[in-house]
Amino acid sequence: MKILIIGSGGREHALAWKISQNPSVKKIYCAPGNGGSALEDKCENINILDIDELLAFSKKNQIDLTVVGPEEPLTKGIVDKFKSQGLNIFGPALSGAKLEGSKVYAKDFMKKYGVKTAAYESFKEASSALQYIKNCEYPIVIKADGLAAGKGVVICDNQAMAEETINAFMLEDIFKGSGKDIVIEEFLQGVEASILSITDGETILPFISAKDHKQILDGDKGPNTGGMGVIAPNPYVNEEVMKDFNINVVEPTLRGLKAENMDFKGIIFFGIMITSKGTYLLEYNVRLGDPETQAILSLMKNDLLELIETCLEGNLSSYKLQWKSKSACCVVAASSGYPGIYEKGFPINIEKSLKGKVFIAGAELKNNVLKTTGGRVLSLVSLGDNLEEAKSNAYKELKEVNFENMYYRSDIGVMHS
């Protein structure tokens, strides 16, 4: 089989690594991929970003399956385009991608189908939003409707901050259209978990739970990033939470997917908040998380290609996911200065003796040397018999990876609620 993987991050490197393990895979094209996918077995990077060009490439090269990593091509309708030309692609059509592409749509969907979520109001006019915040109990959470590269959610502690946020999103239009509409919602206190799942539209199969660490500094301080590290499973996601999550989030979501006739064969990723009043859904994503994927695929025993094919055939109901009885700790190494300004172009050294798996994100391969090109440069995943062992292995093994200006959090796996 010939596979095309779209995207350039650590998540896509992990997808290439895992899919290449299937013996029927002869070739994987990564568009555009990165220095890590360039080094992976059977993989070749191709420098194509445009959806129509990707489609032409898939036809010309008789690609058997396309796997989409990031949300952007999904919300631009790549799945609808590929399918209309008879091409096999894994991911939701536009109708499903809206669950991530529009927060207003997602919240209305949750309300319509009874998914437990924070109380909210949505606004199209700044004047009504500014009026509304006069009578709120603080803190409140303000969310830009559209995609905003992880920067579209602000927790506002008081009215002045809420006013500033509404002005920036709706009037100054800092997200170039994505913040024209907003959601204002109730602030929930609790512990977050990422539950990535696969769905064929008839069944939702949750993967092992994970815990992302979104902020740049230890102790969950500083600005949000794409994710600085992950542990899996998430120690707070016990049987009771899973039961609550199934009843209040998964089942109503599935009812909605069916009722809306969404052509949804892909990933549905639930960002949840576990509170003293039960489990709430914060958001849907319609693609794998980064760096959740690096940790989760390291624990998955199943063959990923076989799982995707079963999903595309609509046969997930009889499929059994299997996980290693281990914990994973994934620590992201970033360029110092990220998520602000940082220097790049530094060579990366990885000792041959390294036991954990390095997934490259922001680095290119030039003359056989990996050089930093991005903010999040790489992630290291280590396993252990339990969380403590996985954490201690990850930090021990990270000493065997280095580049100038390397920065990482030293508390991945410590839970700050």
Choose the stretch contacting ligand AMP; rule: CB under 6 A; options: 161-169, 186-194, 296-304, 305-313.
186-194
By rule CB under 6 A, what string of x and - marks binding of each residue 238-277 to ligand GLY? ----------------------------------------
What letter does residue 372 receive in the DSSP assignment? E
Give the count of beta carbons closer than 10 Å to the beta carbon of residue 157.
11
Residue whose CB is less far from ligand GLY, 227 or 266 = 227
Gap between the Cα atoms of 192 and 274, Å rounded: 6
Contact by Cβ (8 Å): 104, 43: no
CA 6, chain centre distance (Å): 14
| Residue 283 contacts ligand GLY per CB under 6 A | no
Residue whose CB is less far from ligand AMP, 274 or 282 = 282
| Residue 12 contacts ligand GLY per CB under 6 A | no
Is omega for the bond preceding 252 within 30 degrees of 0, making it cis? no
Q: How far is the CB of 320 from ligand AMP (least distance, A)?
A: 30
Give residue 86's region: left, alpha or beta (phi > 0; psi -120 to 50): left
In sequence order, what DSSP letters do the residues of 292-351 get, joined into one string?
A: HHHHHHHHB-S-HHHHHHHHHTT-GGG----B-SSEEEEEEEEEEEEES------B-EE-
Choose the stretch contacting ligand AMP; rule: CB under 6 A; options: 181-189, 203-211, 291-299, 341-349.
181-189
Q: How far is the CB of 44 from ligand AMP (least distance, A)?
A: 34
Residue whose CB is less far from ligand AMP, 57 or 187 = 187
Q: How far is the CB of 153 from ligand AMP (least distance, A)?
A: 4
| Residue 319 contacts ligand AMP per CB under 6 A | no
139: Cβ–Cβ under 8 A, 6 or more apart, which residues? 155, 156, 157, 187
| Residue 227 contacts ligand GLY per CB under 6 A | yes
| Residue 118 contacts ligand AMP per CB under 6 A | yes
Q: Closest residue to ligand AMP, Cβ-based?
A: 283
| Residue 290 contacts ligand AMP per CB under 6 A | no
Query: Quick one: tokens of 410?
Result: 């030293």
Residue whose CB is less far from ligand GLY, 87 or 154 = 154
Q: How far is the CB of 189 from ligand AMP (least distance, A)?
A: 7
| Residue 285 contacts ligand GLY per CB under 6 A | yes
In sequence order, what DSSP letters do the residues of 114-154 get, joined into one string?
A: T--B--EEEES-HHHHHHHGGGPPSSEEEEESS--TT--EE
Q: How far is the CB of 188 from ligand AMP (least distance, A)?
A: 4
CA 70, chain centre distance (Å): 8
By rule CB under 6 A, what string of x and - marks binding of each residue 254-273 to ligand AMP? -----------------x--
Q: How far is the CB of 357 from ligand AMP (least distance, A)?
A: 26
Helix (H) or strand (E) holding 164: helix 159-166
Gap between the Cα atoms of 129 and 173, Å rounded: 15
| Residue 100 contacts ligand AMP per CB under 6 A | no
What letter does residue 90 receive in the DSSP assignment? E
Pairing outcome for strands 204-206 and 376-384: unpaired
Among 283, 290, 292, 364, binds ligand AMP (CB under 6 A): 283
Residue whose CB is less far from ligand AMP, 141 or 363 = 141
Three-class SS state of 10: helix
Q: Which does 337 bind (CB under 5 to 8 A by kind): ligand GLY, ligand AMP, none?
A: none
Among 168, 188, 191, 321, binds ligand AMP (CB under 6 A): 188
Q: Pick the closest to residue 71 from 344, 379, 288, 375 (CA basis).
A: 288
| Residue 72 contacts ligand GLY per CB under 6 A | no
Gap between the Cα atoms of 368 and 321, Å rounded: 37
Residue whose CB is less far from ligand AMP, 290 or 397 = 290
| Residue 289 contacts ligand GLY per CB under 6 A | yes
**Residues near ligand AMP (CB under 6 A):** 118, 141, 143, 153, 155, 185-188, 192, 214, 271, 282-283
**Residues near ligand GLY (CB under 6 A):** 212, 227, 285, 289-290, 292
